[in-house]
Amino acid sequence: MTPYEAFQLLELRVGRIQKALPHEQARRPAYKLWIDLGPFGIKQSSAQITDLYTPEALVGRLVICATNLGTRNIAGFASEVLVLGLPDAEGRVVLLSAEREVPLGARVF
């Protein structure tokens, strides 16, 4: 398998955060997110992004999600997609996003 073929196995799609609440049962500070992926429906995610974001600031935001990694149970919450980010100089997660409006569910390639 080539590196490009391996990358193609990972399904990355854009979604819009519809709802964000503190995930009070999580061991580390996190939010419960509900993300609209257009034709793929609303998916849930547990995300440790509390350092730079408030729930209010997250609603309406476009994010990039890995959608085919399976569902994980995070402290009693079904996390269906992984929201992608990268660390800033202090190690805080900065969300990856589309720089302009695109159709929800669009695949990253």
The pLDDT tens digits for 5-40 are 988 899 999 999 999 999 999 999 999 999 999 999
Note the pTM of the prediction, 2 decimals. 0.94
Q: Kindly state the tokens that stand for 27.
A: 């061991």
How much is the pLDDT for 76? 96
Tell me the residue range of the domain where 31 lies: 3-95
Contact 30, 46 (CB under 8 A): yes
Domain with residue 38: its CATH number is 2.40.50.140
Contact 57, 103 (CB under 8 A): no
User: Is 21 among the domain residues?
Assistant: yes
How much is the pLDDT for 109? 86
User: Is 100 among the domain residues?
Assistant: no
User: Is 36 among the domain residues?
Assistant: yes
Closest CA to 12 of 49, 40, 53: 40
Average pLDDT in the chain? 97
Enumerate residues 6+ apart whose C-beta is below 8 A from 107: 11, 12, 13
3-class DSSP assignment, residue 6: helix
Contact 48, 28 (CB under 8 A): yes
Q: Does residue 98 surpass a pLDDT of 90?
A: yes
Q: Does residue 42 surpass a pLDDT of 90?
A: yes
What is the total count of domains within the chain?
1
User: Is 29 among the domain residues?
Assistant: yes
Average pLDDT over residues 45-56: 98
How much is the pLDDT for 30? 97
